[in-house]
Amino acid sequence: MKWSESYSCSYVPYSGKAVCCAVKGTNGKVYTGSRIENISFPLTISAIQAACCICLSDGSIPEIFFIEEHNEPEQLDFWEKEFNAQIRYTDELPLTELPDYRENNDRIKSLEELLEDAVVTESDFPVSCIIKAGENNLYSGVNIEVSEWSKGLCAERIALSKAIISGAHLKTAEMSVCTLKGEFSAPCGACRQVILEHLPFNSIHMFNADGTRSSHLTVDLLPFNFKTSFLNKDSE
Ligand code: THU
């Protein structure tokens, strides 16, 4: 598949510059990542970060990076060193179809089961997340930690990245978040800003260690959020 055919997986309303890459894990599977921008620019997820974190959340270790050109060089540098990965600059993506990170219906894990997939070497604080974008459209995420804390991703942002890269229709999607540690489950401020951009009036269900749950709309979780018509997103 030509790189240009995968550009629709990116979310780049501010720069207009789609970036995609693919990562082959030690399990032989290929994970596509794409750039996912945010109205608060520093919260942007790079293509290589998305691909590596999705690979790690599937229990695999990134081994080979397939890259179109030298995009996001400083990002690439970190991930290459972190996993001693090989970089291959290629003309085409090593895939024949656009990525689809929907959970396989026969093997859907519960939020609690998913917690075991979290890579929490630094915090020992597993978090899991499931986005339900229609009956058979579930996208899961767990938190991933790497040697540089700021390069890992929260469970919510991994689930959201998988849904966006897969082209999920998020209008009526709902998000569920779970931790069995801590006083209660709650997305961090950065996640709230990122979630808000894609699921503004959608429900977030938070499942707590004591078995209780609370549900809120994303907008209610982030009053006075950063929003400005001076940035170039088509404001709906
Ligand atoms: N974490 C999440 O996965 N989601 C949140 O909303 C809060 C924080 C993770 C990130 C990191 O792996 C660990 O919790 C401690 O910050």
For 95-108, write each residue's pLDDT tens digit.
999 999 999 877 78
Burial of 222 (C-beta count, 10 Å sphere; 0-12/13-18/19+) = middle
Q: What are phi and psi of 128, to 5 degrees?
A: -130, 160
Quickly count: other Cβ atoms within 10 Å of residue 210's Cβ.
Answer: 9
CB 218 within 8 A of CB 199: yes
d(CA 97, CA 60) in angstroms, rounded, equals 21
Q: What are phi and psi of 193, to 5 degrees?
A: -65, -40
Q: Is the pLDDT of residue 124 over 80?
A: yes
Element (H, E) at 23: strand 20-25
Q: Is the pLDDT of residue 36 over 60?
A: yes
CB 3 within 8 A of CB 68: yes
Q: Kindly indicate the confidence band of residue 234, based on its pLDDT and cuts at 50, 70 and 90.
A: low
Q: Is the pLDDT of residue 229 over 90?
A: no
Of residues 142 and 184, more confidence is placed in 142
Q: What is the pLDDT of residues 5-18, one digit of tens each?
A: 999 999 999 999 99
Q: What does the pLDDT average to over 22-49?
A: 97
**CA angle (184 as vertex; 182, 153 as ends), nearest 5:** 70
CB 69 within 8 A of CB 89: yes
Ligand 1 pocket check for 114: Cβ under 6 Å: no
Which of 140, 151, 154, 192 is the pocket-test mutation for ligand 1 (most atoms within 8 Å of CB)?
154
Quickly count: other Cβ atoms within 10 Å of residue 221's Cβ.
Answer: 17
Q: Is the pLDDT of residue 69 over 90?
A: no
Token representation of residue 172: 């009526």
Q: Tell me what pLDDT residue 111 has.
A: 95
Ligand 1 pocket check for 197: Cβ under 6 Å: no
Q: Is the pLDDT of residue 180 over 60?
A: yes
Say which of 116, 156, 174, 183 is annotated catalytic. 156
Calculate what percentage of the chain has a pLDDT beyond 90.
Answer: 84
Q: Is the pLDDT of residue 236 over 70?
A: no
If you measure from the C-alpha of residue 17 to the centroid of ligand 1, how many angstroms do you get, rounded to a whole number?
A: 29
Q: Tell me what pLDDT residue 230 has.
A: 82
pTM over 0.85: yes
Residue with the two structure tokens 């293509």: 47
Q: Whose Cα sits closest to atom 15 in ligand 1?
A: 123
Mean per-residue pLDDT of the chain: 94
63 part of the active site: no
